[in-house]
Chain A
Amino acid sequence: MLDWLLLTLQMLFFPGLVFQFAGAMVFEWIYRVSIASLEGRIGPPWYQPLMDFLKLISKEDILPKSANRWAATLLPVFSMACVFTAGMYVPFAGTVFDSFEGDLVMVVILLSVPSLGYFLNGWATGGSYSLIGANRSLLQYFSYEVPFLTAVAGPAFMAGSWSIIVIKDYQSQFLSLVFLAPLGFLVALVALIGKLKRNPFDIPKAKSEIVAGPLTETSGESLALWHLTLQVQALIGIFLLVNLFLGKVYPGALVNFLFFLGKAVAVQILLGLISVGYARTSIANLTDIGWKVLVPLSLLQFLVLVIVKGLA
């Protein structure tokens, strides 16, 4: 009985719904403020992401006649469920809900489900902007997913385990893997930008080209859930990178907590920096970057790790 109660509480509060929701809001705010300060603006107040969410969710959901209402309603819910589930298995400052051998693979796959949902949303809601955006998002998916997988395979190989918590503990014994695998970290970071569809890889929803891509015809609750999905995806992606590449644990619960948070915020600000510094790439460029730059780099990094492990 108590087990069930505990499980429900965990799912609802920590590390489940409420925690991830709040985290996503805070991190979204950090992202917006960091971009704003780099662009010479002030940026929104801290509650802005929450207000945006509340406003959208209270609005009417309008769809074109040609849209598939079932798909358009269910896709964001399903995608959101996937990222929230992934979030349950990514350790936060050393504490984790549950872990098993192979949870890294599961998390990576769950994190990529929204990309598929995003693509399907474009087809389900109809409209020419949505269709082009959907095609682009699929093309983009194939460009960043392989490098992302190869990059996160590096730490798993070093630790000899596909469990995030083991990889993290492995780093506590030595040093954070980013020092050994800087290229892998960079590749994973760039691929993460592609995953989150943020500038310079916001090609599927390029505002000045196809308005909002697959989400053009989405409105109200569905749009709110899509935004939330992408924001939680950002949070979990960042936590994952911090665990895999910057996973050194510091003594003392509070110190460790602060360090973890600091690292996550730093990664978020780094993402903002990249976003401000570059113009949007074109889709042809993205495929080039994905397959001619990121994949070779991540393979090279893997090779280096193999040699290092062989020597050690």
Chain B
Amino acid sequence: MSRLVIPIGPQHPILKEPISLKVEVEGENITHVDLQIGFVHRGIEKLVESLNWVQAVPLIERICGICSHVHTTTYCQGVEQLAGIEVPKRALYLRTLMCELERIHSHLLWLGIVGRNIGQEAMFMYAWRDRELVMDVMEAFSGGRVSHQANTIGGVRFDPSPAETAAAQKLLAELESKVVALRNIVEHSESFISRTAGMGVMNRDDIRRYGLLGPVARASGVDFDLRRDRPYSVYPELDFKVIVRREGDVWARAMVRVEETMQSIAICHHIINKLPGGAVSVKAPRRVPVGEVISRTEAPRGEVVYYIRSEGGEHPARVKVRTPTLPTLASFPELLQGVSIADMTVIISGADLCIACADR
């Protein structure tokens, strides 16, 4: 059969954000993939240099619509380290709580999208319905469902009362039972397994060559989680399990993500129970001393790296953002070689792309 180039993107039903894959197919099988990104490049790294340290926070929050809090956390953490600010314990706990809530929300969002892309609309509806619960919790805390504006240099900008945390725990308990139901679908549904098992298999070597991170790496047997292996914030004081699977396919990635969601819910309960009292922020200086720092956190999709350099002024001299989606995208041309169009959609959605993060 003759060769045909089908355009996947910049606008396509499987993509939530614009990338362009020019897929060359022979019959149903892919022979070549031409990847193009940068459709939502906003030049944030450059723009940050013209803002002062605090003004940069809301801008950095807008790097991503799904993991916005993780970006500000990484940035604030780095700047606090540079400036030598002692952040109150309560602020760190609340910041971490928000990170975990965001992880739950991101993983559930992903699960829904995969369900929709494999043609199981019901899964999409259930996952997104349940996601509303965690969105409600985040909204009750910070006032924002997507952009929380929760972080500031020197602490956080929200201070929940005991009544609010109790209400959040109730919602989280409700969510937990629903995530258990979702996990049962992922683990046992014949139909889901048949569409995801054995798709896009990556072994440890592939993971390492491309520098893949987060749940994708952990689904291929890489036992690495920054929260445990490069502890930051209050993670050393929390106990949680790092979920690792060996299969390396889309199904394993789904399993890792639902299990991580369960872990995150447990962490949230843990944090709320241990939440210390006190102030939620300290005053940050206008100027940050000369220096450089590499700040890293575990985002829902893997490791986020910020390199921040100060020249002693009111503005950052350089902020470099490395997001986990970039290496994932780099692996696509090889990963999609020879698979069918039907499997391609599963593999693309299974990677959990966040294009806004990658383009910045």
A interface residues (Cβ-Cβ under 8 A, vs B):
35, 38-41, 128-129, 131-132, 135, 199-200, 202-203, 206-211, 276-285
Asked whether A282 and B129 contact (CB < 8 A) given A128-B7, A210-B6, the answer is no
Cβ 8 A contact of B195, one of A128, A129, A203, A279: A279
Q: Are B342 and A206 in contact (CB under 8 A)?
A: yes
- Complex alpha-carbon distance, A257 and B25, angstroms: 52
Q: Are B117 and A208 in contact (CB under 8 A)?
A: yes
For the complex formed, measure the closest distance between the CB of A286 and the CB atoms of chain B, giving whole angstroms.
Answer: 10
Q: Are A40 and B6 in contact (CB under 8 A)?
A: no
Cβ 8 A contact of A277, one of B4, B6, B116, B191: B191
- Complex alpha-carbon distance, A283 and B340, angstroms: 10
Q: Are A39 and B119 in contact (CB under 8 A)?
A: no
Q: Which residues of A contact B195 (CB under 8 A)?
A: 279-280, 282
Q: Are B13 and A208 in contact (CB under 8 A)?
A: yes
For the complex formed, measure the closest distance between the CB of A110 and the CB atoms of chain B, giving whole angstroms.
Answer: 29
For the complex formed, measure the closest distance between the CB of B121 and the CB atoms of chain A, giving whole angstroms.
Answer: 6
**9 tightest A-B contacts by CB?**
A280-B119, A39-B125, A208-B117, A282-B342, A279-B120, A128-B6, A279-B191, A279-B118, A208-B14
Most chain B CB atoms below 10 A, which of A131, A135, A209: A209
Nearest B residue to A39 by beta-carbon distance? Answer: B125
Q: Are B341 and A40 in contact (CB under 8 A)?
A: no
- Asked if B122 CB lies within 8 Å of chain A CBs, one says yes
Q: Which residues of B contact A276 (CB under 8 A)?
A: 121-122
For the complex formed, measure the closest distance between the CB of A272 and the CB atoms of chain B, giving whole angstroms.
Answer: 11
- Complex alpha-carbon distance, A38 and B25, angstroms: 36
- Complex alpha-carbon distance, A35 and B340, angstroms: 29
Q: Are A208 and B345 in contact (CB under 8 A)?
A: yes
Asked whether A280 and B126 contact (CB < 8 A) given A128-B4, A128-B5, A211-B12, the answer is no
B interface residues (Cβ-Cβ under 8 A, vs A):
4-7, 12-14, 25, 27-28, 115-122, 125-126, 129, 191-192, 194-195, 340-345, 349
For the complex formed, measure the closest distance between the CB of B332 and the CB atoms of chain A, giving whole angstroms.
Answer: 16
17 contacts between A and B (CB under 8 A): A39-B122, A128-B6, A129-B6, A132-B25, A135-B27, A200-B119, A200-B191, A206-B342, A207-B13, A208-B14, A210-B341, A211-B12, A276-B122, A278-B119, A279-B120, A279-B191, A280-B342
Q: Are B125 and A284 in contact (CB under 8 A)?
A: no
Most chain A CB atoms below 10 A, which of B117, B344, B349: B117
Q: Are B13 and A280 in contact (CB under 8 A)?
A: no
For the complex formed, measure the closest distance between the CB of A208 and the CB atoms of chain B, giving whole angstroms.
Answer: 4
Nearest A residue to B12 by beta-carbon distance? Answer: A211
Cβ 8 A contact of A40, one of B115, B119, B126: B126
Asked whether A278 and B191 contact (CB < 8 A) given A39-B125, A128-B7, A199-B119, the answer is yes
Q: Are A208 and B340 in contact (CB under 8 A)?
A: no
Asked whether A208 and B125 contact (CB < 8 A) given A279-B192, A282-B195, the answer is no
Nearest B residue to A278 by beta-carbon distance? Answer: B191
Interface of B is mostly: helix
Q: Are B342 and A209 in contact (CB under 8 A)?
A: yes
Q: Are A209 and B341 in contact (CB under 8 A)?
A: yes
Q: Which residues of B contact A202 (CB under 8 A)?
A: 119
Q: Which residues of A contact B119 (CB under 8 A)?
A: 199-200, 202, 206-208, 278-280
Q: Are B125 and A41 in contact (CB under 8 A)?
A: yes
Q: Which residues of A contact B125 (CB under 8 A)?
A: 39-41
Nearest A residue to B11 by beta-carbon distance? Answer: A211
Known contacts A210-B341, A280-B118; 14 additional CB pairs below 8 A are A35-B121, A39-B122, A39-B126, A41-B125, A128-B4, A131-B4, A132-B25, A200-B119, A208-B119, A209-B14, A209-B345, A211-B12, A211-B13, A279-B195
Nearest B residue to A129 by beta-carbon distance? Answer: B6
Q: Which residues of A contact B342 (CB under 8 A)?
A: 203, 206, 209, 280, 282-283
Q: Which residues of B contact A209 (CB under 8 A)?
A: 14, 341-342, 344-345
- Complex alpha-carbon distance, A207 and B125, angstroms: 16
Q: Which residues of A contact B116 (CB under 8 A)?
A: 208
- Complex alpha-carbon distance, A276 and B5, angstroms: 32
Nearest A residue to B190 by beta-carbon distance? Answer: A278
Q: Which residues of A contact B194 (CB under 8 A)?
A: 279, 281, 285
Q: Which residues of A contact B7 (CB under 8 A)?
A: 128
Q: Are A283 and B4 in contact (CB under 8 A)?
A: no
Q: Which residues of B contact A279 (CB under 8 A)?
A: 115, 118-120, 191-192, 194-195
Q: Which residues of A contact B13 (CB under 8 A)?
A: 207-208, 211
For the complex formed, measure the closest distance between the CB of A163 and the CB atoms of chain B, giving whole angstroms.
Answer: 38
- Complex alpha-carbon distance, A207 and B349, angstroms: 14
- Complex alpha-carbon distance, A132 and B126, angstroms: 31
Nearest A residue to B344 by beta-carbon distance? Answer: A209
Q: Which residues of B contact A132 (CB under 8 A)?
A: 4, 6, 25, 28, 341
For the complex formed, measure the closest distance between the CB of A310 and the CB atoms of chain B, giving whole angstroms.
Answer: 37
For the complex formed, measure the closest distance between the CB of A199 and the CB atoms of chain B, giving whole angstroms.
Answer: 5
Most chain B CB atoms below 10 A, which of A35, A203, A210: A210
Most chain A CB atoms below 10 A, which of B115, B192, B342, B345: B342
Most chain A CB atoms below 10 A, which of B4, B13, B14, B121: B121
Q: Which residues of A contact B345 (CB under 8 A)?
A: 206, 208-209
